[in-house]
């Protein structure tokens, strides 16, 4: 089980994208940190969330202290998804049982002081000349990696093609 934490995110496109991925990967709570008002899911967000926020338990926290208390109370391990010299490579990281996957502001990211308070930080390797990935993409990659070897895949339906959950790719 995982929670997704959006730390000071401002873009409706990114928020909608992350909520959609969160639901697709079977996340539990979605947490917004740093807003003085609850996030407004308007048309421009819902075009990307596909209105899936209706399936989420959403929590709004005002600051980092509230976040770390929330994680402790709910037995979540705060795991920052961030580019940092101290972060572990995502593919080599052993996830805790209940990670709260935290992604940062589109411009500022997460600070080193914030990372110091997390249990761990993970970085997604990059191979080309881009300073960083989009935050919504980063969140989805981290969710996928957490889920990659976990059981419980559901049938993918309501698409042009369906994928039954018992489908397995043959090992080489
Ligand atoms: C666009 S980045 C912010 C970068 C910011 N301009 C900076 O230099 O710190 C927004 C968020 O995307 C995530 N992110 C982007 N690329 C990443 C990567 N390669 N590995 C892990 N997280 C990444 C992090 O959560 C980051 O806080």
- Adjacency order of strands within the sheet including 120-123: 57-61, 29-33, 3-7, 99-103, 77-81, 120-123, 88-89
Distance of CA 130 to the CA centre of its chain: 21
Q: Which atom of ligand 1 is nearest to the CA of 134?
A: 1
Give pTM, 2 decimals: 0.92
What's the gap in Å between 159 CA and the centre of ligand 1? 31
pLDDT digits (tens, 9 = 90+) for 46-80: 999 999 999 999 999 999 999 999 999 999 999 99
Cβ-based burial of 126 (10 A; exposed 0-12, middle 13-18, buried ≥19): exposed
User: Quick check: is 172 in a domain?
Assistant: no
Work out the pLDDT band at 84, boundaries 50, 70, 90: very high
pLDDT at 168: 58
Residue 59: which of 24, 96, 22 has the closest Cα? 22
How many structural domains is the chain composed of?
1
User: Quick check: is 92 in a domain?
Assistant: yes
Looking up residue 46, the CATH number of its domain turns out to be: 3.40.1280.10
What's the gap in Å between 126 CA and the centre of ligand 1? 11
User: Quick check: is 18 in a domain?
Assistant: yes
Residue 76: which of 59, 91, 92 has the closest Cα? 59
**What is the domain range of residue 86?**
3-167
User: Quick check: is 51 in a domain?
Assistant: yes
pLDDT at 57: 95
What's the gap in Å between 116 CA and the centre of ligand 1? 16
What's the gap in Å between 96 CA and the centre of ligand 1? 21
Question: Is the shortest distance between the CB of 9 and ligand 1 below 6 Å?
Answer: no
Q: Provide the 10 A C-beta neighbour count for residue 144.
A: 13
Question: Is the shortest distance between the CB of 110 and ligand 1 below 6 Å?
Answer: yes
The CA distance from 137 to 40, in Å, is: 21
User: Quick check: is 82 in a domain?
Assistant: yes
């Amino acid at each position: 089980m995982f929670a997704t934490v959006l730390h000071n995110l401002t873009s409706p496109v990114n928020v909608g994208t992350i909520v959609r991925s969160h639901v697709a990967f079977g996340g539990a709570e979605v947490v917004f940190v740093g807003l003085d008002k609850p996030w407004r899911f308007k048309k421009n967000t819902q075009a990307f969330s596909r209105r899936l926020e209706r399936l989420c338990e959403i929590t709004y926290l005002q600051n980092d202290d509230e976040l770390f208390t929330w994680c402790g109370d709910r037995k979540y391990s705060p795991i920052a998804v961030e580019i940092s010299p101290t972060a572990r490579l995502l593919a080599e990281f052993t996830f805790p049982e209940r990670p709260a996957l935290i992604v940062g502001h589109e411009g500022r990211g997460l600070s080193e002081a914030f990372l110091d308070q997390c249990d761990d930080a993970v970085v997604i390797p990059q191979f080309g000349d881009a300073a960083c990935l989009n935050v919504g993409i980063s969140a989805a990659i981290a969710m996928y990696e957490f889920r990659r070897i976990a059981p419980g895949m559901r049938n993918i339906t309501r698409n042009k093609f369906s994928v039954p959950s018992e489908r397995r790719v043959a090992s080489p």
